[in-house]
Amino acid sequence: MQLTPTEEQLMNYLWKLKKGFMKDLLEAFPEPKPASTTVATLLKRMVDKKFVGYKVIGNNREYIPLVKKEAYFSKHVNGLIKNFFNDSASQFASFFTTQTDLSTFELEELQKIIDAQLKKKQQ
């Protein structure tokens, strides 16, 4: 299951906060802030999708992310590779390194990451 762009925005705030009440999430939004009813509706949908949980404290709900940001991002990247790059990570890497404006330093950092992963796999 996937989040809408607006749900993703809210989820990013919740990941950053680690947990939060409605007022905390509303404060995270830039001006003009959405109505609290809008955020409540988004949270309900995200709870239904099992991306967010909550615990009741008094009359308030404290919202907690149930999905880690890395897991969500990884699923999206894998879907992107599958759907747009014929399930080929090398096609994705080729596109990413040639079609983006990466600096020499960034490319060298990517190379170090790849070299480290190759070394781990060879052991």
pLDDT score at 48: 96
Any idea of the CA torsion for 115, 119, 121, 122, to the nearest 10 degrees? 130
Q: How far apart are CA 43 and CA 60, in angstroms?
A: 13
Tell me: the pLDDT tens digits for 87-108?
Answer: 888 888 888 888 888 899 999 9
Of the pLDDT bands very low, low, confident and very high (cuts 50, 70, 90), residue 25 is very high
Q: What are phi and psi of 31, to 5 degrees?
A: -75, 145
pLDDT tens digits for range 52-87: 999 999 999 999 999 999 999 988 888 888 888 988
pTM of the entire predicted model: 0.75
What are the boundaries of each domain within the chain? 5-65, 69-122
For the domain 5-65, what is the CATH code? 1.10.10.10
